[in-house]
Every structure is written in structure tokens, then in C-alpha cells.
Amino acid sequence: ATRHIGIQLPIGRQNDKKVLVEMLLANDFCSKTEKGATCIISIVGKGGIGKMTLANMVFNEVEQQFMERRWW
């Protein structure tokens, strides 16, 4: 018999996601310019600990709040 393994949500990142979402929506890390605001938050750490997963979770939650999106 073959066991089906479903997609699992990341474990232990909900609090980190909540903090980053609050930071972005509060505009504390945004620089105001003539064309609007630029919000940048760096996520750093060792490889394989889920930085990109966390960034995607935050992005998916707040993407409607921002008009322009850029990934570097």
C-alpha cells in the first residue's frame, strides 16, 4: 500500500510571520519618497532554516496591501 503524504504547513513560523506582517503594515521600516514608500525587512540566518518559506508566507498574507512588488 502506498501512503499519501499531504502538503504540510511550516511548523513553528507562525509567530515570526505575525511579527513581520505587523512590522510591514505599521510602515516602521518604510522609507518615504516622492513615488511612495519602500518597505524592506531583511531575513537572515543559516541555510535551510526556512527564510524563503517565511518570506513567502508573509508575502502571501500582505500582497494586497502593496501596489508594487519586487524580489531581490
pLDDT, residue 5, reads 62
pLDDT, residue 18, reads 92
What is the rounded CA–CA span in Å between residue 70 and residue 72? Answer: 7
What is the rounded CA–CA span in Å between residue 51 and residue 13? Answer: 10
Report pLDDT digits (tens) over 13-62.
Answer: 889 999 998 888 887 767 777 766 677 889 999 998 889 999 999 888 88
What is the rounded CA–CA span in Å between residue 51 and residue 45? Answer: 7
Task: Specify the higher pLDDT residue, 4 or 57.
Answer: 57
pLDDT, residue 9, reads 63
